[in-house]
Amino acid sequence: MYLSREGDRREGVLLRQGKGWFQVSGMGHESLGVIPLLMEEGDYLFPYYRDRAMALAKGTTNRELAEAYFAKQCSSSAGRQMPGHYSSRKKNIWSVPTPTGANLLPGCGVAWGMQMQEKSNLVVATIGDAASRQGEFYEAVAFAIERNLPIVFLVEDNRYGISTNTDKFNPFKLEVFNHEIVKHVDARHPDRVWDAAVEAFEKARSDNGPTLMLCELDRLCSHTSSDDHRVYRPAEEIAEMFDRDPISVLADELIDTGELTQEDWENIRQEIDEQVDREYIEAESKEDPVAETVLDQLFAESTAEHNLPVAEPPPIEGGRNWRMVDAVNQVFKSGLESNKDFVFFGEDIEDPKGGVFRLTADLSDTFPDRVFNAPLAEATIAGVACGLASYGMRPVFEIQFIDFSGPAWNQISQNIGSLRWRTNGDWSCPMVLYAPYGAYLPGGSIWHSQANEAFFSHIPGIQVVIPSTPEDAAGLMWTAMHAEDPTIYLIPKHLFRQQISVDENVAAVPFGSARIRQEGDDVTLVTWGNCTEHAESVVKKLEDEVSVEFIDLRSIVPWDKQTVRDSVEKTGRLVVVQEDGETCSIGQSIIAEISGNPDSFSNLFAAPKLVTKPDVYIGYNPIHEYAALPDEEEVIAAIRLVM
């Protein structure tokens, strides 16, 4: 407890000296340091940024925290995370995300993995009381109860969310929760924390489900170094808190009972003071990150260039007709048969429904231990996938329509994409999040018809793919299921029930590899997803007028720049067709790349043309839908214009 306190104090001094940029303190929360002393090998800690004492007790050293404070290359994040964002794969301390509460659903994912593997381990996941009003907190608690998970949630109730007193917001004080799962603890004394945790841990290890430990304690400091709590907290309140400082109270108690002498206590503090001084001085002299490494660990073994996963031919039979739906379903079956780490989870995916589009038909009947219905909670789907992937399993999870990914956005953008990079490769998140996507199917309206690949493509660390043929659907899914990084897999609804002939030899489909569907000499036509149907028709209609080279991009992140460049070098003209909206889109990105590159720009005979949906929603009446979407006439007009 004192080592944690002195580390916090030292960082505050250093910051005032102009050494460092930011500090977040755990002063007053040190009694929770007893929690990891009850944890066993294989247990996981999902902390938040006030859990310095817990991180130390779980095996993180003060020296490592000093290196993190100075954001050194040797720190757990290689200088990419703020201080207080603990992480260690070796010690099973999951990387702290700044958005409080974003650690809980991944914690549930790890606990579920332990349960599926019949381990006797547990997860401890922590959150501040202010963040207990986050929707993901309720989703995590509900999922843990539903699945009877071996997880203990610690709600660290210091009564403040930055400057706001939380008494009137706190769901426990509003009596939202069933008292049977809540254990109230005056956590200012480690003995009381210990006694409560022993009971909660025994419950978790005995398959009796989760516990919510509401730990009442004090934040003896400002929210962070950017805050001054004297502005909004009465002086009397601050003085009263320090009268019950858990370190002083415990030390006095031990001295009164004769278990510790005043001299011994002074010696302990002096020894720790000297250790902290020494280790922070040593940490300050360590090497800083090198600017050239900023792109390292965005993807597995990657640096500035995306290192593509090895692709193997998908397990579907060639030389026959396939629908995309059936091809993907076959790949799912083969994956479940070949690797027990694959887990499927999504709304309505169990039999007899087998998913609203039958993508998972017959899977849960055959593999009931690894194919599960999800609640109507997309954050749960994405967050649990992140945790399971961190734990070493292979989640292949469904969002019922990509339009419904909004509630999952926090997990996708804050955890799934960043986990590898923010831990410098210590943690990874190999998973697939797939969803039906796009329009050209009347009746979907604005909630079932989005083509929004640009949203996901803007998140570093995530691969995005869109097939348009059965063999590509199978190949891209098989590659995604075996990749070491997260993949967003969008399957176009308009195309996925069409019977299409597949070649005798079904080839592997690597990421970042476009497919030239038709060679030509006059115009390069680039598209993907549903728009490939228009492109194919236009190529045939114009075959006596223009020689069009038709490229199906297939992989959006990474995209195949070289194939497009080579084609434009041959044709001198570029038309891009997309279903997504215009602004900040993939189509604009492709045109910017070709136009902004001096070599490819010099090959252009005409300005590139983008055929796109304007920045508008898809309406329910088909008149609205088709008024917004690109059509063949627009593609033909664009080709004639660049000619």
Residue numbers annotated as active site:
448
Q: Please state, in angstroms and rounded to a whole number, the distance separating the CA atoms of residues 56 and 75.
A: 15
List, edge to edge, every strand of the sheet that includes 609-613.
Answer: 515-518, 548-552, 523-527, 574-581, 609-613
Q: Please state, in angstroms and rounded to a whole number, the distance separating the CA atoms of residues 601 and 594.
A: 6
Query: Are the beta carbons of 210 and 183 closer than 8 angstroms?
Result: no
Cα four-point dihedral sign 324, 328, 329, 331: positive
DSSP code per residue over 162-217: TTEE-TTT-TTTTT-S-GGGEEEEETTSHHHHHHHHHHHHHHHHTT---EEEEEE-
**Helix residue spans in 77-158 (DSSP H):** 104-116, 135-147
- Hey, is 279 helix, strand or coil? helix
Token pair belonging to 511? 């990421």
The Cα-based distances of 403 to 110, 378, 407, 503 in angstroms read 27, 11, 10, 33
Query: Where are the strands (E) in 300-366, listed by range?
Result: 320-322, 342-346
Q: Please state, in angstroms and rounded to a whole number, the distance separating the CA atoms of residues 638 and 640.
A: 5
Q: Please state, in angstroms and rounded to a whole number, the distance separating the CA atoms of residues 80 and 64.
A: 14
- Hey, is 390 helix, strand or coil? helix
**Each residue of 107-141: b (16+ CB within 10 Å) or e?**
bbbbbbbbbbeeeebbbbbbbbbbbbbbebbbbbb
Identify the helix (H) or strand (E) that includes residue 271: helix 262-284
Bridge partners for 165 per DSSP: 160
DSSP code per residue over 518-568: E--SSEEEEE-TTHHHHHHHHHHHTTTT--EEEEE--EEES--HHHHHHHH
Q: What are the two backbone dihedrals, phi and then psi, of residue 508, each rounded to the nearest 5 degrees? A: -65, 150
How many CA atoms does the CB half-sphere of 556 hold within 13 Å?
33
Query: Are the beta carbons of 219 and 225 closer than 8 angstroms?
Result: no
Which amino acid, residue 229?
H
DSSP one-letter code for 310:
P
